[in-house]
Structure 1
Amino acid sequence: MNKLQQRSNRAVAYWLLIGVGMIMVQVLLGGITRLTESGLSITEWKPITGALPPLNDAQWQLEFDKYKNTSQFKYVHSGFTLSDFKFIFFWEWFHRVWARLLGVVFIIGFGYFIWKKSFKREMILPLVILFFLGAVQGAIGWVMVASGLVPEKYFVGHVQLATHFIAALILLVYTLWFAFKMLIPENKMIVNGGLKTLTLTIILLLFVQLTYGAFMAGLHAGPVAPTWPTINGEWFPHYLFNKEGLENYTGNAYMVQFIHRGLAYLLTILIIIWFVKASRQTSSSLFNQIKWLPLLLVLLQVVLGVLTVVNSPISNKLVMYGVLHQAVAMLLLVSLVWVYYVIKAPKA
């Protein structure tokens, strides 16, 4: 590869990494929106005109009146003033505007690199898939909001919330992987089939854990047992099987928290084992520099998880610790995808 093509690849990769950063901010804004119960404050999906917030008192009152028709207002926030409404409206509006800005950054970058002829032929299809994933994520977001705008629903559905969250993470990982392909040369990689398999296992398990984290948020599962290390004084609470079938494992707040805690402990153990194995690998300076990241981040994540659950009945602390918990979860995912990319399986 000539130096001109290398520079072009780096420029495209940096553009993609800017997108990765913006996706992470978008996910965190979604977390704030969820934890402040702001998600149903905008009751319509207007992809173009919705970019502007209300600009005068009459427009604010109109939006507030629309919100008053939701069950969330009637049964949860009936005491809200217009000022209270403006607060939750801001977070939902900012979450949607940031998504639009993210789309603009990708579109402008795409147009610029087309003009500069920076894309190789094999990049076109992955970029089309990238835009498709972004569009699907926007549609899932509206389906999620709509799930909470039906009678007798006070919040968005926890399954829809988890779907929206995981779709965002898939978009993040896809974009990150695309950038790595242009930034990390083969001579920076290591060959270790066993370590690669273990890394993939941890990543897949982390996605299950992240799904249960979204269930925790959607079901308000933290405040039902804001204790640690036990769950309301019990290691195996008697109310773990309050529901039947699959619903017990996805819709029972106690079981969801029990599984979320258990997976956290399992992931920590697996990453400690992974780190011990990775420490024996010294053939790549890049790998040596990044192999400590998963261990550091998972330990920090456990601490933040405990702080989040024990402070969950206190709304402002729940928002603070919950968002930090979510941020470190994404960094942990990024670190694992990074080391997974650098590890190659041996040739058959």
Structure 2
Amino acid sequence: MTTETYSPAAAIGGKAQAATRAVAAWLLCCAAMVFAMAIIGAITRLTESGLSITEWKPITGAIPPLNEAQWMAEFEKYRQIPEYQYVNRGMSLEEFKQIFFWEWFHRLWGRLIGLVFLIPFVWFWATGRLSKRMVPRALGLLLLGGAQGFMGWFMVMSGLVDRTDVSHYRLAAHLGLAFVIFGALLWVALDVLDPRPGSHRAREAVGLRKHLWFALAMVAVTVVWGAFVAGLDAGFAYNSWPLMDGRIAPPEMWNLSPVMANFVENTATVQFAHRWLAVATALVVWAYAFRALKSGIDPRGKMLALGLAGMILLQVAMGIATLLSFVWIPVAAAHQGGALVVVALILWSLHELKVPTEGRVAYVGATS
């Protein structure tokens, strides 16, 4: 017969581990919601729904129209903007309700993300479950979320007066900020879960990290040009691969002056740039995977490299399928989600290879 002895240190350690898991789960849940938000946003854009709500009401806007009079009032506001007058003139109320739903749901999901982040943050902070190191990072994430809400409205504003759609520059900024928020949430969650990863012991880790940062920069540029493709509806042109109207580079790529304007304003050039940026990015990622598999990093780092190589191949395939299907919404939305998965795998790989600072401050505070 044995007797168990109560250990205060073990009890405190158990509470700290529980707090760590809770904080990590909170951050990962928020990251998953941002991922879903990107998919919803893609559908909103692809269904041309983004301008259906012409006002920004952060609080009362969460409630959709509840009766026929309210629906007609919203519809009348939409009838005043150029998109209705030049693109959707004659649209029925039922058709308007369909596009209204996606924009309303997109905004509602953004509000839910804010609540899911803010309420646990306040509780974790008030109960001492966040360290001094974690608090400013969480506050920074909160500010990024608020900035994203403003950026979304700033984007919508660009399509309410003189245009029939939103500015593709503002669309790219809105999407890019979503990627930043997703990546920041994931990185902090990884720090909480695994503050001292093991692959840093390999001598090759420094070079591999530089390679990954370059790959991440390539992904970022490719995503920006993907947003330009979406904003200019460039995906509906040149729906073949690898040629564009029978040529690698169609002559109309250089119709604008100055020449550099073609890369951000010309449909042909924007799609061409996105195509080959994606291919170049894939080659950079595959080169990293080859190096990682031949290196002495830990098995988890090698598994991540394999997963990243496979995911970038799938992402290129989904991009081609998006073109060949004339931007079929399920494939196009999955393509946007795939970009986030690629970013997640790169960040996870970077985290696995990082060299932790000795004596670093924990992200989770002691519990009472």
Is 1:262 the counterpart of 2:276? The answer is: yes
Count of aligned pairs: 342
Partner of 2:173: 163
CA distance in 2, matches of 1:114, 1:98: 24
Partner of 1:244: 257
Partner of 1:274: 288
Is 1:193 the counterpart of 2:203? The answer is: no
Pairing 1:12-161 to 2, within 5 Å after superposition:
12-151=23-162, 153-161=163-171
CA distance in 1, matches of 2:101, 2:127: 38
Is 1:321 the counterpart of 2:325? The answer is: no
Partner of 1:331: 341
CA distance in 1, matches of 2:100, 2:129: 41
Kindly report the root-mean-square deviation, in angstroms, between the aligned alpha carbons of the 2 structures: 1.6
Q: Which amino acid aligns with 1:47?
A: P
CA distance in 2, matches of 1:206, 1:130: 22
Partner of 2:3: none
Which one of the candidate residues 207, 214, 228 is aligned to 1:215? 228
Are 2:199 and 2:354, in contact at CA under 8 Å, matched by a contact in 1?
Answer: yes
Of the structure 1 ranges 62-71 and 281-290, higher mean CA displacement relative to structure 2 is found in 281-290
CA drift at 1:145: 0.2
Partner of 1:344: 354
Are 2:229 and 2:270, in contact at CA under 8 Å, matched by a contact in 1?
Answer: yes
CA distance in 2, matches of 1:195, 1:221: 35
Q: Which has the higher contact order (CA 8 A, sep 6+)?
A: 2
Which one of the candidate residues 182, 185, 191 is aligned to 2:192? 182
CA drift at 1:272: 1.4
Deviation sequence 1:4-37 (CA, Å, 0-9, x none): 3233122111100000000011111110000000
Of the structure 1 ranges 95-104 and 106-115, higher mean CA displacement relative to structure 2 is found in 106-115
Q: Which amino acid aligns with 1:38?
A: S
Is 1:4 the counterpart of 2:15? The answer is: yes
CA drift at 1:310: 1.6
CA drift at 1:286: 2.3
Are 2:49 and 2:99, in contact at CA under 8 Å, matched by a contact in 1?
Answer: yes
CA drift at 1:99: 0.3
Runs of 4+, deviation exceeding 4 Å: none
Q: Which amino acid aligns with 1:120?
A: S
CA distance in 2, matches of 1:345, 1:88: 48
User: Considering only CA atoms, is the larger Rg found in Structure 1 or Structure 2?
Assistant: 2
CA distance in 1, matches of 2:71, 2:95: 12
TM-score normalised to structure 1 length: 0.95
Residue ranges of structure 2 left out of the alignment (5+ in a row): 1-11, 358-368
Paired-residue identity, %: 37
